[in-house]
Amino acid sequence: MNQQGVIRKSIVSLLLLGWSMGLMAQSAVQIKVDAAKEKGPMTPIWAWFGYDEPNYTYMRDGRKLLSEIAALSPVPVHVRVHNLMTSGDGSAALKWGSTNMYTEDKNGNPVYYWNIVDSIFDTFIQRKMKPLAQIGFMPEALSSHPQPYQHHWKPGDKYGDIHTGWSYPPNDYNKWAALIYQWVKHCVERYGKAEVESWYWELWNEPNAPYLQAQDRLKTYCKMYDYASYAVKRALPSAKVGGPHTTGGGEAFMRGFIIHCLKETNAATGKVGAPIDFLAFHAKGSPRIVNDRVRMGMYSQLRNIRDHLSVIASFPETKHLPVIVGESDPEGCAACGMKTDPQNAYRNGTMYSSYTAASVARIYDINAHFGTNLIGAVNWSFEFENQPWFYGFRDLATNGVDKPVLNVFRMLGMMLGNRVEVSGNFSYDYQSIIDSSVHGKQTDINAIAAKSKNSLTVMLWNYHDDDIQDNGSPVMLSLQHIPVKKAKLYHYRIDSDHSNAYEVWKKMGSPQQPTEQQYKELEKTGQLALLSAPKAVTIKNGTLTVDMQLPRQAVSLVRLVF
């Protein structure tokens, strides 16, 4: 080939290279983070966790996981558990637990027993965690319909089978209030007034649903709340008490509860009104099987949050009260594994991770829209003792090995300071997800960012409701108005090859009895991993660009340390 031909070929190659680079730049999602535009505090709403089975708390893997959760958070973690007042011998079972704190002697006199509930709270306090102390459920001796009392539910059974004698209102409101008074008084004596003042005391769980067996659930709940809140405040006037922990579709119940607390006669005191220091409700998504694969339903969870916050914001007296999403999850039953409920197959892998990242970010946005005071969104998942490996429960760890989703919370734990503005060519925001979820051709690639005195952090995700994984998309991340000239860059990743013990376990052959060496490898790969080695970077004109390929259902954390 002559020189002219070589030149012509080189020109064509350069043109093709330029065209392909231009195409790549055109198709890349561009995300801009402006460190100079603060949007308010990065309130650690994610540092709240909960579960049905309280007796797992002090068991081996329960203690291990609680220690990990406490270690990842820069603030004390709040923990909410059911069955703190339920009668029984303390044996753990799915969707069950007991402390036996109240029985009666042969003459009907109360017998208080604190050992088991103390073991639960001691485990929290030792890790500087804060109980979201649930007044529930009804002790057998106080239930207005005690038999049958303990259920024996298992995955695949009818869910309604769990609503036995523990779910009924008291047969004697004065005895029940006395129990609550004695419990709070005991906690003050054991842990100190200042400690218990930092807790939140709540009544019951999902009283607008069968968790409360009553003909008029709102009227019954309000009466129960009057007696419970009076007992809590009598034992500790500075205690924080609230409710009602309604579940999806409970907006009318929430409104009725607020009206009762503000304007109606208190059944316990005879006066108008009841104390209300915070409000709580639940929000759940709705996964299903479409074309033989899981399709998530984030729109349902976000809609629950929007609708409840709308009610709370409509009352001047409650708009600025602390609000807790008492259960904030992709669906409702943590103990329903994927074998009996195939729509829950998202739970072991990175889909749960990307869903969590995307939904937490949108919860901040919805709260900002209403101007409400959201302080917590409880991730209702923990661990299940003595169960098969990666069974598909909604849990954070399996047999002591962390699942990918726990690493999202490790990422969030590094996001300190104030949220800052994020902009870009995005396909979705919280309103579009509420309207139509993430079912379109485009995936949800977006980010949330925070800036502190010593760091700038950005969490990015590539999420879609359909459980498909691919190589994803190129992302051009531009960090602007960085206040220093030199920093250290860390890039953490959750995907099929990083922070993912599930994929490693499958490559091992899915052992139900891993060897000691395999267990150690699974423990290690369950931790949050770096995508690449940390590196020193120079900031030019306050700007740094980070390019990446973000696979579908992956999550990244870019952390710039000053």
Identify the three-state secondary structure at position 122: helix
For residue range 35-74, list pLDDT tens digits in order. 999 999 999 999 999 999 999 999 999 999 999 999 999 9
Task: Over range 173-189, report the average pLDDT.
Answer: 98
Percent over 70 (pLDDT), the chain? 95
Residue 493, phi then psi, degrees to nearest 5: -145, 140
Contact 142, 175 (CB under 8 A): yes
What token pair was written down for 560? 């710039």
Q: Tell whether the model's pLDDT for residue 21 goes beyond 50.
A: no
Q: Tell whether the model's pLDDT for residue 9 goes beyond 50.
A: no
Identify the three-state secondary structure at position 435: helix
| pLDDT given at position 379 | 98
Handedness of CA 44, 337, 61, 399 (dihedral sign): negative
Residue 20: band (very low, low, confident or very high) from pLDDT cuts 50, 70, 90: very low
Task: Over range 310-339, report the average pLDDT.
Answer: 97
At 533, the amino acid letter reads A
What token pair was written down for 396? 């954070």
Inter-CA distances, 455 with 136, 479, 491, 527, Å: 42, 12, 13, 22
CB atoms within 10 A of CB 385: 14
Residue 24: band (very low, low, confident or very high) from pLDDT cuts 50, 70, 90: very low
Percent over 90 (pLDDT), the chain? 95
| pLDDT given at position 150 | 97
Q: Strand pairing of 130-135 and 200-203?
A: parallel
For residue range 510-562, list pLDDT tens digits in order. 999 999 999 999 999 999 999 999 999 999 999 999 999 999 999 999 999 99
| pLDDT given at position 27 | 82
